Amino acid sequence: MIIGIGTDLANIERIEGTLERFGDRFRNRVFTDLEKKRAETRANVAATYAKRWAAKEACSKALGTGLRMGIAWKDMAVSNLHTGQPVMHVTGWAKARLEQLTPPGHEAVIHVSLTDDHPWAQAFVVIHAHPRVSSTSLS
């Protein structure tokens, strides 16, 4: 069952300008330490930040709120599996909102896809819920 779908485009050059203008003030307001560490080791720092910015926007849309109703930027964070696959983590109000949207007896899964093609970064987020599998049903 689909709970929500969100997509967003971010202009890499705009993010680059924001990084130049506001530096750590912008980084620290929007991104987690793990996201900053990942971005700062990449060849195209601005594109990495832009993809994560777009993912946070897309996630907030998939949660049905946009960036309002108490969701903070850092309530949504993108990390990567060892394979490189991006993974969205939610905490705080975003996690509470996800729990509110998830039907009883179900587990929510957030899928995120990131891409960039200068000057654009794009993210898609799909949240779906599947029935929880109880340990007794596995026997």
- In this predicted model, what pLDDT tens digit does every residue of 102-130 receive, in sequence order? 999 999 999 999 999 999 999 999 999 99
Distances (CA, A) of 2 to 51, 53, 76, 88, 103: 23, 23, 19, 16, 11
CA distance linking residue 15 with residue 28, whole number of Å: 14
Q: Which candidate, 123, 118, 119, places its Cα nearest to that of 52?
A: 123
Phi, psi of 30 (to 5 degrees): -105, -35
Q: What is the pTM of this model?
A: 0.91
> Which pLDDT does position 10 carry in this prediction?
97
pLDDT (mean) for 7-25: 97
Superfamily of domain 2-133: 4'-phosphopantetheinyl transferase domain (3.90.470.20)
Query: Alpha helix locations (H) across 9-135?
Result: 12-22, 24-30, 33-40, 45-62, 92-101
Domain-by-domain residue ranges, the chain? 2-133
Contact (Cβ atoms closer than 8 angstroms) between residue 139 and residue 15: no
Question: pLDDT tens digit string along 35-94?
Answer: 999 999 999 999 999 999 999 999 999 999 877 666 889 999 999 999 999 999 999 999
